[in-house]
């Protein structure tokens, strides 16, 4: 009996020690987040730095301090978890992006975004995978299988949309922001779909049928994920419109919006869909319908609450990535051959450069062919910035690499350790170097934001000057749709027709049921339409 009591007390003591360690770790991490916010504010006017790079550098410095104080045994205070990233940190970032994105620019360029995000990612995936197979098989890095090479293609095809939000300004460069960010969302979803497909399909016998199955699986996931996000957004709009939560408590309105958005993300994960696409389109639909059904205080609260949650999650991600970059356990496996690790990292970085260039410039050319006016075309300088800004690799690549090459956050094979450390190196180099140069590069290549706005017609003066994006509220009010008289006009005119009928359908059926702009909520004092969240 005495032994049992002693064992129990020992376990209780271990549990207490573990809990104390967790509390200490959380305190340190929260303090570091506060430091990132303060330093980021002080560097707000810097043409080089942004919050992402600031958090990354603070994470690296903190990792060095922990490494020194622990005697070289550890460099971080939290163990990386894909669940932590995909379930808790990524949803608020992507949802807020959909909720705040300028929809006119996004839907105006939806065809180009889909070209870059879907077809472009596939091209990059093929080039990186083939390059890895052709080069790494000749190197002494261990026994990687076909699935590993294809996983490498998916991992390094994923751009860092989080860092893109930091280095591009939605107001100064609306075209670049909508293209690079919109492509980033679709790109992340496509990369994750490809990664999951590589893990789930039998790659021992690749043929045309397997390729068709992969393509069909992508279309299935893309369509269903988008529909799930739209349904979640419409359901939240309908519930809030019918039940008038605001007459009792605005807190309920805010809570139901947050919970419905997160529910859509988790349902997508439950059904093995693309949760990124689901929560992104849920944010778009909520900003179009749900946001207009709540009281004025709820509108202000939701707008800032979503932005704040997204901001904290972004800082958390980059802070941890910087801290985890010095994880001694991973680097021990490659310490006997540092040259090999550097060589692998350089090759992967080169494949990223080539893979992105292989689709940005050709697909921009194709996109320009179907553009109606000169102002809608993507110039070479803009193409170069799109190529450059999309070179950054971040948390999605890290999470996928950990998923493929580690077990419970730990690396036990030399070849896996080489791939993990190489991924960390590419992420750090691309984020810091490419991220630091992006802002000055935009100022050099596109020095006048007013000129850029005029080029892309982001805010046309009269309805006649509209290029008629999908969701412009002023276009084609007279119902006139020009008849195409050439192949190029036939390719561009359907956007006018689709927009006109969409607006009629939205005004006649959707808004009476789900609310939206023009709907007066139960509680008086609703703001006018110019207060809506970044609609224009």
How many Cβ atoms sit within 10 Å of the Cβ of residue 220?
12
221-256: pLDDT as tens digits: 888 999 999 999 999 999 988 887 766 778 888 899
- State the pLDDT at residue 408: 55
Tokens of 379: 């110039």
Tokens of 14: 């271990």
Q: What are phi and psi of 170, to 5 degrees?
A: -65, -30
- State the pLDDT at residue 127: 94
How many Cβ atoms sit within 10 Å of the Cβ of residue 373?
10
Residues of the chain with confidence (pLDDT) below 50: 1-3, 5, 8-9, 12, 14-15, 17, 449-482, 484-495, 497, 522-536
363-408: pLDDT as tens digits: 999 888 877 667 678 889 889 988 988 888 887 888 888 888 876 5
- State the pLDDT at residue 407: 66
- State the pLDDT at residue 166: 66
DSSP 3-state of 135: helix
52-65: pLDDT as tens digits: 778 888 888 888 88
- State the pLDDT at residue 411: 67
SS (H, E, C) 363-413: HHHHHHHCCCCHHHCCCHHHHHHHHHHCCCCCHHHHHHHHHHHCECCECCC
Distances (CA, A) of 512 to 117, 257, 402, 508, 518: 34, 20, 47, 7, 10
């Amino acid at each position: 009996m005495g032994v049992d009591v002693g064992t129990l007390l020992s376990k209780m003591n271990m549990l207490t020690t573990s809990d104390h360690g967790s509390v200490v770790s959380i305190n340190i991490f929260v303090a570091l987040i506060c430091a990132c916010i303060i330093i980021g504010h002080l560097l707000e006017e810097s043409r080089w730095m942004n919050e992402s790079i600031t958090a990354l550098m603070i994470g690296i410095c903190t990792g060095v301090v922990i490494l020194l104080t622990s005697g070289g045994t550890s460099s971080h205070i939290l163990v990386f978890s894909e669940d932590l990233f995909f379930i808790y940190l990524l949803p608020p970032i992507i949802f807020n992006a959909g909720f705040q994105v300028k929809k006119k620019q996004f839907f105006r360029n939806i065809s180009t975004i889909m070209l870059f995000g879907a077809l472009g990612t596939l091209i990059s995936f093929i080039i990186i995978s083939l390059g890895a197979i052709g080069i790494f098989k000749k190197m002494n890095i261990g026994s990687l299988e076909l699935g590993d090479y294809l996983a490498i293609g998916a991992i390094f095809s994923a751009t860092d949309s989080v860092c893109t939000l930091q280095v591009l300004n939605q107001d100064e460069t609306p075209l670049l922001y909508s293209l690079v960010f919109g492509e980033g969302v679709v790109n992340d979803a496509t990369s994750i779909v490809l990664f999951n497909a590589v893990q789930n399909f039998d790659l021992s016998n690749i043929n045309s049928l397997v390729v068709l199955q992969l393509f069909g699986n992508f279309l299935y996931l893309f369509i269903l994920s988008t529909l799930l996000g739209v349904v979640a957004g419409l359901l939240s709009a309908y519930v809030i419109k019918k039940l008038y939560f605001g007459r009792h408590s605005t807190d309920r309105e805010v809570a139901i919006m947050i919970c419905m958005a997160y529910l859509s993300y988790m349902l997508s994960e439950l059904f093995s869909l693309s949760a990124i696409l689901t929560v992104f389109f849920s944010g778009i639909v909520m900003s179009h319908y749900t946001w207009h059904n709540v009281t004025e205080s709820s509108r202000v609260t939701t707008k800032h609450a979503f932005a704040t949650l997204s901001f904290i999650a972004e800082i958390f991600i980059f802070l941890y990535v910087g801290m985890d970059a010095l994880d001694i356990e991973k680097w021990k496996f490659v310490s006997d051959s540092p040259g090999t690790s550097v060589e692998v990292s350089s090759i992967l970085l080169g494949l990223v450069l080539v893979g992105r260039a292989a689709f940005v410039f050709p697909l921009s050319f194709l996109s320009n062919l179907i553009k109606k006016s000169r102002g809608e075309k993507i110039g070479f300088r803009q193409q170069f910035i799109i190529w450059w800004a999309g070179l950054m690799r971040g948390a999605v690549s890290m999470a996928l690499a950990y998923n493929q090459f580690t077990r419970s956050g730990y690396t036990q094979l030399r070849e896996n350790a080489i791939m993990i450390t190489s991924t960390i190196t590419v992420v750090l180099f691309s984020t810091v170097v490419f991220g630091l140069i992006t802002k000055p590069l935009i100022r050099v290549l596109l020095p006048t934001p007013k000129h850029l706005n005029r080029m892309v017609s982001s805010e046309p003066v009269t309805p006649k000057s509209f290029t008629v994006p999908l969701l412009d509220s002023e276009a084609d009010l007279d119902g006139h749709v020009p008849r195409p008289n050439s192949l190029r006009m036939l390719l561009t005119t359907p956007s006018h027709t689709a927009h006109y009928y969409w607006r009629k359908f939205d005004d006649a059926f959707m808004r009476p049921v789900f609310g939206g702009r023009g709907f007066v909520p139960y509680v008086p004092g609703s703001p006018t339409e110019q207060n809506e969240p970044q609609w224009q």
